Amino acid sequence: MGRRSKLGAKARRFLRRDVYAVCREYDVLTLRQVYYRLIARHDYYPPTLVFYKYLSRHLTRWRKVDEWLDDRFVDPSRPFIQPPRPWKEGELWLEKDSLRALLEKLAMRYRVPIVVQRGFASRSMLRDAFRRARERGVRKIFLVLDFDPSGLCIEAVNEREMGIKMSRVALTYEQAKGLPFRLVKRRDTRAKKYMAKYGDRCWEVEALEPRQLLQIVEQTLRREVPPEHLREAGLEEEAAKVALEILEPIRMKIAAAASELLRRGVPPDRVRERLGRKLAF
């Protein structure tokens, strides 16, 4: 079979077979790795964007029904940034990685984890977020998105996939008024519905002054994160620092004593036993 731009329905079962064969070679991998391994191993898979999107679409479907396959995949391009002693009930999701540099310090101060979406969320990102929500009790997700056809669609997809009410912190239609705008791309499949409601203008969240965006996000976090959690988290972190300061000299003395015993030929198990008895309290 020669190289083609598309695969017919009959070829799907062969694609699935080959995908599983690739996945068995790795403990974890990415979509790009699967794509390049397939076109390298099989001449009948074309090295085209059309095939890449085709693979992505079908792989997402297969992962939704096969936990073994789903757990093979990671997405390092969409990081999860967690502060010490995090507030577990909420997360801040950013549409763009460029927003992280501005908002990360603020989010860490309020103990709120950050997810960098980089546009529409990947299957791996949503899977991990859903598991966190179930295990930690996440019930609020705050969004910082553009106000445009894609941004509104991202919000809707996130809410549908997570089953959690999304809270758009920025950019809202009211916040966008008076800001520099760009015209909606009419070729966008989402443009018609958007323009019927909002007209032909759209806005990027970066149109807000940095100080203004920080104030908007901080107002939300100050309102949502319980002050008692911040107080307790601060105390726990300070207590951990004090403990480390006290333990470090003790650790160095233990290491020196262990080294001396090992040099004398005392077996490691005996070293542990002796030092354990000596230091027990």
- According to the model, what pLDDT value does residue 280 have? 66
* Burial class of residue 81 (count of CB atoms within 10 Å of its CB; 0-12, 13-18, 19+): middle
CB 148 within 8 A of CB 203: yes
- According to the model, what pLDDT value does residue 5 have? 42
- According to the model, what pLDDT value does residue 3 have? 43
Q: What's the rounded Cα separation, in Å, for the pair 136 and 134?
A: 6
Q: Which of 134, 130, 133, 158 is nearest to 144 (CA)?
A: 158
Q: What's the rounded Cα separation, in Å, for the pair 122 and 80?
A: 13
C-alpha dihedral sign at 206, 210, 213, 218: positive
What SS3 state is found at 90?
Answer: strand
- According to the model, what pLDDT value does residue 102 have? 93
**pTM value surpassing 0.85:** no
- According to the model, what pLDDT value does residue 9 have? 60
- 111: tokens are 């103990």
CA atoms within 13 A on the CB side of 5: 2
- 43: tokens are 């001449």
Residues of the chain where predicted confidence (pLDDT) is lower than 50: 1-5, 281
DSSP state of 172: -
Residue owning tokens 């300070």: 238
CB 73 within 8 A of CB 63: yes
CB 155 within 8 A of CB 162: no
- According to the model, what pLDDT value does residue 1 have? 36
- According to the model, what pLDDT value does residue 236 have? 77
- According to the model, what pLDDT value does residue 252 have? 87
End-to-end Cα separation, the chain, in angstroms: 74
- Strand segments (E) across 145-220: 166-170, 182-183, 201-202
- According to the model, what pLDDT value does residue 260 have? 86
